[in-house]
């Protein structure tokens, strides 16, 4: 049974969090803006009863929703408007569609984080003709005010911050099980919604136009279904689209690491010694930003290819134990577990800041810090001083959870790229003529990746050059794209050796 | 009368604010951390009555103080401890002094912003033997919790956030006019305290060991006094010390501009077009940080020398009107007034962010924005959308006041440099043998600048090289510094022409 | 017939040049150092007779070689020693092999540029036990002194600078057609050697252990053979190895563009406006270096994905015609033809520098510049001033050929990565057990890519971190690599749509 | 006697070389372009006889000159035209003068390096009406072809490369001692010309309009004269002008260090460990360029203020002995002597590159390298491998002389700033009304600095903003500049303490 299998598998994507309640943690989108700016409004006034127990009705008389507090709608609307400024591609999509409604008749059921940025996506789908029912993919990440604004605008949202696991599944079920409304297409982030329908409403599932999935986890689950011959509808893998791979993690982290550290610690970056564990996309983003502000950055790596890149980009690649005593900040970006252990923490100098930009909560050894010999002092939201018996203090951020979970804002623009890709995938699947897509998992056509990219260019006042007929012919491509050959990509698949085989072999020859 | 004169004079230092109540605004030090993290604690619980009307007593029985709320002391202490981590020079001074008390017997009356960073300075003076009475140099900048922590630690503080002008002068007077305690040295920021004593307690003034002054304004007032032959004690001009000039504005702005923009607007920097008005130290800091994060930065300048630097550093120097329509952000850093006028704002594109990192509140034409044809929507703390009749919206930050007043944290380390210089100046003045200093304004000896710099090196694990005897002789300097020749500096004063003279001349020759 | 087919095909790799004599041009490896430093020694003393007509014998009595002048061997040896300093991976390979000779019995016939860097490769193969016969893959790129040093060291080289086409094929044939020596493995760069043997010595070809091919062109020809079912031996595609793709073009261009421009024009980079046409790997390298030195860089692009990257990296993406009048330098990096045409050149301002870092000689419209209305003045080697009737002058570098062909040195280290990969591929093919490789084209196993990368780390004093057993298990990989999952790569191949299909579709929906 | 005194004095300016023949070495201006491009033409064909012994006549019949070979004029003219492209300020000066001849009647005798860049200056003076006689300030730095071009254009040049000391003074004397021509103003670089006239032709000296001097050395000699009351004419100190101080060393070194290293060693910068000794302007320029290309840069410093700047700019400040074993390159930029000694060289790893960007030839211990235990191998022009008994090799560049003396081109633009300042100073002195300048040393008026800067802005297409009347009044300055207050500068001179005094004092208080 597929859920069982998943428990044992680990993924290497560094930003995407597990989406399994109740343990799941999140990249919280603009969580942080909520924290810093809206907490007074939203949190203090909230009662403790579950929204599920209340009878709710919107001003328009709509009642198929369940959220925390409809009165926060105005504040949520402002947040959405802020996000719209930075998400030009979706706004362009609305504009370019003009009167046309490419999603007319589409009944989209969605399960994502519910934030200002996803609200822009959802309202774009609506503007293109879709009806939308929406649940949260994470029990903690819903911005209640945004949910309220969506409901006020006519979207059926079932989500609030701090759902129990029971409530999580109840919300998902409410989105699907309306008597008078049946979804015909899925937009999922993590696969929970997809598998809920697949398992509980198999007939409904078979009639779907398709599934659009963004996360590593969800995509993996779809490939498993497909391999097992049980995927009965086409699915779009948005996670591996070029736009997501080339832009998301790198720029997301580059843009948020500085603010995350500043806000919590007032640190000056110039000349400070920072250790970044891992030089994948997350590590590359963090290193680039920190170096740019004058920090002296060290890198640990296990993969020699990434290590060589770090070297040539100007970073010292070093073992953690060789540098720990002199660094001012340690940032984990590995996607692995047990990266910073108690023995490492014991060696750090007093005042060292420790935080996590990687995947899971297990990169830093929290258990090792919660021992009776250490004293914790909570000095600011998301900031604890952990004090050793000799007075040494480690500055721990966000209790080892993702730093940009709650300590920084989110660049809406970066999220815009993925959101626009999701919208395109939905349009493509919904409008594809019979037979174009089989019961399989597809990547978004390269052409559409390019289209998504082009939607973002006006924000930068960027102007593309057009190939002449002659030049296009010379390159062997169409004037209108795609602009890279297929064989470029495909040539990477001739690999037919298993690693183990090769490994042994090299060892013999070269010691 | 000196106050009259000052009304008419304008200064070019870009960070330093006027310190004249009640209109004065401030670089608020860690104001922002208060805003984001402590507002719930500190503000909501505060009553509206003036502290002046209350009878206050500290736990130790001390009663010569007047602050908002002694109960906030614990929170303030944590903020001070956070600042201590980043202010190693002052902590080193305490340590190096060992048992010695170079300020034993010193009775310091101070008038500065009262923040976590100045608290570290004040407590350092106390640790070195001084008794301290302290008032605020600005009616808005006092961190009440920090003031409480200082009082709890035995410092006589008379200050709270939101003083009236009357209360401002009352607080200053309370610091001086104690029956049993008379100050013998002044630490001032802006000159208000100095002139209060000079005018109201002339006998006390004459007996002072001296005055240490940090601000452009205050230094200017001292030189005026000196010119007029009325300065009856020696004064130290800290503002023009090398350490302050070379580090303060540049790094302060470089470290805070990004966070200020991120926090308020969630903007992504990569590829965004930013116009920075002015390429002085403030502008240089902003430009460097923004370029480092991938922004496309344009500069306006009036001074050809600064303009040439901007060019060679890779920035386009351009007239505002030629670029306004395409920029995403406009930042004023000129120290001048009327830089961004309504006519400029009319030309900007919708969504353009406008903010001020310069000196005064008059860089951006606020009056032009407060007209009846424009609609203001307050979307977040410190963020207003100003909406034009055609729907265009300008994102205005901090109502045109200093962006790092309330929208970012402050790098304590940068402030540490100036604070350490103040402490050194105080020690020097207090301990100087009779006759070393006349009744004049002095710069801190270069040797002391170097000492202050060296106090900050351990934070970076930096190790100086020592000159050999041979090398020192070859360079004609002492092995122990100062390391730059005096004639280097002095040679810059042979200039004896007036500009006007020259100007006419050039015009004739070269058109 | 395969040669015919190739005439019509164009490739997009930007650095690799066509290798078809006699029109072929080259990335010349350390061509430039020869130009600037050795021309006096080597060229002036050379006679004009063809080496083919002379009877040559080395000091050791060896006579199976044909080069220009054996007397230059000492100078060539110094150049090789310089290169060895920067090619640690190959030197490490020699060392790690210790006494073992993994290439014992290997008879390698090679056809590459003959430069100091390839000499290090060839001598490494020899040190590992191989016998080597070598020809040049380009009629202009042989460093005669290096060839001499190789011969003196016992390698059979048939190559000199300035071969005729006839001589080119004669040299190749001499390498193969020795009476007493038959190659059993090929190392090729461009496919000329491979196809010569394939066509002329089919029996020999079938007995080969395999072919290692580095170039885009050569790899393409191998895939054609394979598709046609005519590839009778296994082949290794080195061109698409991770190490080559991730390091070669980007760092090669980043490291050479500055010197190429400086040497020829004495230009100061700070503040100069540079237009880079194309933001592929070559363009990215050029842009990064120029921006780093303070230039204001503009980019033209046809591909929206690359354009978006350029934007987010801080470059203005613009049409050429909109910026031409104000730029100081234009650099073509597209791999396409007719990028800078006469009409563009007509619009440039006087003094504008025009050069090519891209693939072919056709990026700049040389024909348009060789018209009778324009006057050419040759001002320095590789520098012509082309003068318009009105006196405007364009500074043309290297007559539109690759700038780093003759105007800059080459970073040996970057070439080291590819050379080490070639050596590994040769070792792998030669030692693979029967049956591991079929008659097909293979990518180097990922494990070996990682091994090559690791060989380069000691130069940077870089130290890898080792995974714990626990961590390796958590990530689902071996402790010893490969460190990235296969499914990551393979998931990119589900794409099954044709572009045209999709293209039409999008156009309908979105205009 | 003044020459005696000078022998004992050392200066700290890092670029300016001593100008005392015959030991003097030079920043050679475009020396290097000569080396790489013109050596074949110019050097090989040159005879060994002294030009002094030949009877020379130019095409125009002019005979008051003495150069190497008038036939090289065409090549020299091309070099001058190349330089003109990068020296817009001087070209603008010519243009702006229009018909006017502000130097009509001026008889300028000059003594500078004779290079393409100074030729542009000399011809500008001529275009503005001056008659010019010119000698070289350095026996090695004359570009013979440029001298020829100048003569062909009608300038009386007495200079060639490789003068003996005797010839050096003979040339200077020839410039002055013409029967029919007497100079009335001096342009000097180093003071040799000035003192020759002062001593040998005292009557002529007294009648001069004045002296313009560029070098540290020359300026120092002028101040000495002035102090001694023997300066009988006004002098302009160009060395301490703002434009020279802020632009010259920093950008000069930033622009030339990369090419200097590349050309000689083919080194790849990415990830390489570089030790820069000294963080003055020269060191700052080197560090910035190297870091920008991805090198890992370490700094040694003796001055804590410079050290703190290095830290905050992101460089590790370290003692040489702590890092020597791991660096790939060592660059001296201190202006001091004995910086890299044999004991340091003994510790470096094999392959380490050692070079000097600082002032003198004594930064690197050449004597220590010329011992019998070490073997020297000359591998390229300006490159020696020094080999230790155990096989270790140090790569020594330019035998410890200035790297940009012979290993890189020179950015003409940077030199343009100083050259334009010299021209302005000459115009000012020549045209000043009686009495404006006394017999003293003057700095160029700030207004003129700004004018020189503004002359360079068009090259960058930079556009200045103009102050409104209102803004100018608010700032207290003229709309047309100068844009910085005088008191800013002057306030730095109140310092009245001696260091020693202070030093002792601090030591007592703070240990």
pLDDT in tens, C483-511: 876 544 332 322 222 222 333 333 333 33
Q: Which residues pair with B158 in a beta bridge?
A: B66, B135
C351 pLDDT higher than 70: yes
A30 pLDDT higher than 80: no
Q: How far is A201 from chain B (nearest CA, A)?
A: 40
Taking an 8 Å cut-off on Cβ atoms, the answer to whether C263 and D414 are in contact is no
CATH number, domain of A131, equals 3.40.50.1480
Residues B29 and B162 in one domain: yes
Backbone angles phi, psi at C253, to 5 degrees: -75, -40
Residues C87 and C216 in one domain: yes
Dist. CA B66–CA B173, nearest whole Å: 12
Dist. CA C4–CA D24, nearest whole Å: 65
Is residue A208 in some structural domain?
yes
Is residue D93 in some structural domain?
yes
Q: Which residues pair with A441 in a beta bridge?
A: A235
Q: Which of A468-482, B148-162, B306-320, C475-489 has the lowest average pLDDT? A: C475-489
Q: Which of A396-410, D87-101, D156-170 has the lowest average pLDDT? A: A396-410
- B283 marked ligand binding residue: yes
Q: Which residue of A has its CA nearest to D270?
A: A312
CATH number, domain of C279, equals 3.40.50.720
Residues A375 and A426 in one domain: no
Q: How far is D17 from chain B (nearest CA, A)?
A: 15
Taking an 8 Å cut-off on Cβ atoms, the answer to whether B266 and A326 are in contact is no
Tokens (6 digits) for D359: 């002032």
- How many CB pairs below 8 A link B and C? 35
Which one of C266, C272, C326 has the shortest CB-CB distance to D33?
C266
Q: Which residue of A has its CA nearest to D297?
A: A314
Count other C-beta atoms under 10 Å from residue A195's C-beta. 20
What's the mean pLDDT in B256-260?
93
Q: How far is A474 from chain C (nearest CA, A)?
A: 6
DSSP H or E run through A486 = helix A486-490
- Determine what percent of chain C is predicted with pLDDT higher than 70: 84
Residues of A in contact with D295 (CB under 8 A): 314
Q: How far is C410 from chain D (nearest CA, A)?
A: 6
Taking an 8 Å cut-off on Cβ atoms, the answer to whether B453 and D307 are in contact is yes
- How many CB pairs below 8 A link C and D? 127
Q: What's the longest Cα–Cα distance across chain A?
A: 76
Q: Which of A340-349, A494-503, D365-374 has the lowest average pLDDT? A: A494-503
Backbone angles phi, psi at A494, to 5 degrees: -75, -10
B287 within 8 A of C314, measured Cβ to Cβ: no
Does the pTM of the predicted model rise above 0.80?
yes
Comparing C44 with C301, the larger pLDDT belongs to C301
Q: Which of B191, B110, B212, B214 is nearest to B158 (CA)?
A: B110
Question: pLDDT of C221-270, one tens digit each?
Answer: 999 999 999 999 999 999 888 888 888 888 989 999 999 999 999 899 99
Is residue A106 in some structural domain?
yes
A503 pLDDT higher than 50: no
Backbone angles phi, psi at B134, to 5 degrees: -135, 135
Q: How far is A71 from chain C (nearest CA, A)?
A: 37
- A189 marked ligand binding residue: yes
- A54 marked ligand binding residue: no
Q: Which residue of D has its CA nearest to C250?
A: D270
Taking an 8 Å cut-off on Cβ atoms, the answer to whether C270 and B296 are in contact is no
Which one of A262, A269, A461 has the shortest CB-CB distance to B409?
A262
Q: Which residues pair with B26 in a beta bridge?
A: none
- Determine what percent of chain D is predicted with pLDDT higher than 70: 84
Of C392, C424, C441, the last residue of a domain is C441
Dist. CA D197–CA D193, nearest whole Å: 6
What's the total number of domains in chain A?
Answer: 2
- A338 marked ligand binding residue: no
What long-range pairs does B102-106 form, CB within 8 A, spacing at least 24?
A: B102/B128, B102/B129, B102/B427, B102/B430, B102/B431, B102/D509, B102/D510, B103/B128, B103/B129, B103/B130, B103/B426, B103/B427, B103/B430, B104/B129, B104/B130, B105/B129, B105/B184, B106/B130, B106/B131, B106/B184, B106/B185, B106/B209, B106/B426, B106/B430
Dist. CA A330–CA A311, nearest whole Å: 19
Range of the domain at D190: 2-12+60-233
D453 within 8 A of B505, measured Cβ to Cβ: no
Dist. CA A312–CA A330, nearest whole Å: 21
Which one of D266, D272, D413 has the shortest CB-CB distance to C82?
D266
pLDDT band at A244 (very low <50, low <70, confident <90, very high): confident
Which one of B246, B319, B465 has the shortest CB-CB distance to D309?
B246
Residues C146 and C20 in one domain: yes
What's the mean pLDDT in B368-374?
97
Question: pLDDT of B198-214, one tens digit each?
Answer: 999 999 999 999 999 99
Interface test with B, best of D101, D250, D307, D411 (most B CBs within 10 A): D307
Residues C140 and C209 in one domain: yes
- How many CB pairs below 8 A link B and D? 287
Question: pLDDT of C53-100, one tens digit each?
Answer: 777 776 666 678 999 999 999 999 999 998 998 898 999 999 988 778
Q: How far is D373 from chain B (nearest CA, A)?
A: 27
- Positive or negative, the Cα torsion across A186, A253, C318, D466? positive
Q: How far is C272 from chain B (nearest CA, A)?
A: 8
Taking an 8 Å cut-off on Cβ atoms, the answer to whether D97 and B510 are in contact is yes
Residues B369 and B492 in one domain: no
Question: pLDDT of B325-366, one tens digit each?
Answer: 999 999 999 989 999 999 999 999 999 999 999 876 789 999
Interface test with D, best of B497, B504, B508 (most D CBs within 10 A): B497
Is residue D323 in some structural domain?
yes
- A282 marked ligand binding residue: yes
SS3 of D410, please? Answer: coil
Tokens (6 digits) for C195: 């196809």
Residues A302 and A423 in one domain: no
- C5 marked ligand binding residue: no
Chain centroid offset of residue D226 CA: 24
Taking an 8 Å cut-off on Cβ atoms, the answer to whether D308 and B247 are in contact is yes
- How many CB pairs below 8 A link A and B? 124
- C189 marked ligand binding residue: yes
Is residue D180 in some structural domain?
yes
Residues of C in contact with A449 (CB under 8 A): 305
Taking an 8 Å cut-off on Cβ atoms, the answer to whether D294 and A271 are in contact is no
pLDDT band at D97 (very low <50, low <70, confident <90, very high): confident
pLDDT band at D60 (very low <50, low <70, confident <90, very high): low
Dist. CA D133–CA C80, nearest whole Å: 49
Interface of D with A (CB under 8 A): 270-271, 291, 294-296, 311-316
pLDDT of residue B244: 81
- B229 marked ligand binding residue: no
Q: How far is C467 from chain A (nearest CA, A)?
A: 7
Residues A71 and A105 in one domain: yes
Strand pairing class (B393-397; B383-387): antiparallel
Is residue A72 in some structural domain?
yes
Dist. CA C237–CA A494, nearest whole Å: 9
Comparing A494 with C373, the larger pLDDT belongs to C373
Dist. CA C93–CA C53, nearest whole Å: 38
Residues of B in contact with A269 (CB under 8 A): 255
* Residues sharing a CB contact under 8 Å with residue D7, sequence separation 6 or more, in sequence order: none
Dist. CA B105–CA D311, nearest whole Å: 37
Question: pLDDT of A203-215, one tens digit each?
Answer: 999 999 999 999 8
- A399 marked ligand binding residue: no
Residues D228 and D271 in one domain: no
SS3 of B130, please? Answer: coil
Taking an 8 Å cut-off on Cβ atoms, the answer to whether A296 and D312 are in contact is no
Q: From residue D238, how far is each of B304, B501, C364, D26 by CA, in Å?
A: 18, 19, 45, 19
Residues A215 and A325 in one domain: no
Question: pLDDT of B3-23, one tens digit each?
Answer: 222 222 333 333 333 333 333
- A214 marked ligand binding residue: yes
Residues of A in contact with B271 (CB under 8 A): 459-460
Residues of C in contact with D81 (CB under 8 A): 379, 385
Is residue C498 in some structural domain?
no
Taking an 8 Å cut-off on Cβ atoms, the answer to whether C408 and D40 are in contact is no
Residues D281 and D149 in one domain: no
Q: Which of A378-382, C150-154, C282-286 has the lowest average pLDDT? A: A378-382
Tokens (6 digits) for D36: 């790489």
Is residue A210 in some structural domain?
yes
pLDDT band at B501 (very low <50, low <70, confident <90, very high): very low
Interface test with A, best of D267, D271, D287, D298 (most A CBs within 10 A): D271
Q: How far is A383 from chain C (nearest CA, A)?
A: 28
Which partners does chain A have (≥3 C-beta pairs < 8 Å)?
Answer: B, C, D
Taking an 8 Å cut-off on Cβ atoms, the answer to whether D304 and B481 are in contact is yes
pLDDT of residue A355: 97
Interface test with B, best of D102, D302, D451 (most B CBs within 10 A): D302
Question: pLDDT of C165-215, one tens digit each?
Answer: 999 999 999 999 877 899 999 999 999 999 999 999 999 999 999 999 998
Of A406, A432, A460, the last residue of a domain is A406
Taking an 8 Å cut-off on Cβ atoms, the answer to whether D85 and C326 are in contact is no
Residues of B in contact with C311 (CB under 8 A): 270-271
Which one of C460, C491, C511 has the shortest CB-CB distance to A311?
C460
C12 within 8 A of A475, measured Cβ to Cβ: yes
Of A387, A406, A425, the last residue of a domain is A406
Torsion (CA) D4, D9, D10, D12 in degrees, nearest 10? -120
Q: Where does residue B224 rank: exposed (0-12), middle (13-18), buried (19+ CB within 10 A)? A: middle
Q: Which residue has the tokens 């349009």?
A: A427
Residues B273 and B192 in one domain: no
Exposed e or buried b per residue across B255-279, where buried means at least 16 C-beta atoms within 10 angstroms of its C-beta: bbbbbbbbbbbbbbbbbbbbbbbbb
Taking an 8 Å cut-off on Cβ atoms, the answer to whether A450 and C308 are in contact is no
Taking an 8 Å cut-off on Cβ atoms, the answer to whether C81 and D379 are in contact is yes
Q: How far is C355 from chain B (nearest CA, A)?
A: 21
């Amino acid at each position: 049974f597929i859920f069982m299998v998943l428990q044992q598998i680990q993924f290497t994507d560094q930003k995407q969090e597990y989406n399994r309640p109740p343990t799941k943690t999140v990249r919280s989108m603009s969580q942080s803006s909520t924290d810093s700016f809206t907490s007074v409004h939203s949190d203090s006034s909230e009662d403790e009863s579950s929204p599920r127990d209340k009878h709710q009705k919107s001003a328009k008389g709509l009642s198929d929703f369940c959220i925390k507090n409809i009165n926060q709608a105005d504040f949520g609307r402002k947040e959405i408007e802020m996000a719209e400024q930075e998400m030009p591609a979706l706004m362009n999509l609305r504009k370019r569609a003009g009167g046309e409604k490419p999603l007319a008749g589409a009944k989209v059921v969605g399960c994502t984080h519910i934030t200002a940025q996803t609200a822009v996506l959802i309202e774009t789908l609506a503007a293109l003709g879709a009806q939308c029912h929406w649940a949260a993919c994470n029990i903690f990440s819903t911005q209640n005010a945004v949910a309220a604004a969506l409901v006020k605008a006519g979207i059926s949202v079932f989500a609030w911050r701090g759902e129990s696991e029971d409530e999580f599944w109840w919300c998902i079920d409410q989105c699907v099980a309306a008597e008078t409304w049946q979804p015909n297409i899925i937009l999922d982030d993590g696969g929970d919604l997809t598998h809920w329908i697949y398992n509980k409403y198999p007939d409904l599932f078979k009639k779907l136009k398709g599934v659009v999935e963004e996360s590593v986890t969800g995509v993996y689950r779809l490939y498993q279904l497909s391999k097992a011959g049980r995927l009965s509808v086409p699915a779009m893998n948005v996670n591996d689209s070029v736009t997501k791979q080339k832009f998301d993690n790198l720029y997301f982290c580059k843009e948020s690491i500085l603010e995350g550290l500043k806000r919590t610690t007032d640190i000056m970056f110039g000349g400070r010694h920072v250790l970044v564990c891992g030089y994948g996309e997350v590590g590359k983003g963090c290193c680039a930003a920190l170096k740019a502000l004058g920090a002296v950055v060290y890198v640990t790596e296990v993969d020699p290819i990434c290590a060589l890149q770090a070297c040539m980009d100007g970073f010292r690649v070093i073992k953690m134990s060789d540098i720990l005593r002199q660094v001012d900040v340690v940032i984990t970006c590995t996607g692995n577990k047990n990266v910073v252990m108690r023995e490492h923490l014991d060696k750090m100098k007093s005042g060292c800041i420790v935080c996590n930009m990687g995947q899971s909560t297990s990169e830093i050894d929290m258990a090792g810090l919660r021992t009776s010999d250490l004293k914790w002092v909570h000095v600011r939201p998301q900031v604890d001083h952990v004090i050793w018996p000799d007075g040494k203090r480690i500055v721990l951020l966000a209790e080892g959870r993702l730093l940009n979970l709650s300590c920084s804002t989110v660049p809406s623009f970066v999220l815009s790229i993925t959101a626009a890709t999701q919208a395109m995938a939905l349009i493509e699947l919904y409008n594809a003529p019979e037979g174009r897509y089989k019961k399989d998992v597809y990547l978004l056509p390269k052409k559409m990746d390019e289209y998504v990219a082009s939607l973002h260019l006006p924000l930068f006042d960027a102007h593309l050059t057009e190939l002449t007929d002659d030049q296009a012919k010379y390159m062997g491509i169409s004037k209108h794209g795609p602009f890279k050959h297929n064989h470029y990509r495909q040539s990477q698949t001739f690999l037919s050796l298993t690693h183990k085989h090769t490994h042994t072999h090299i060892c013999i020859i070269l010691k």
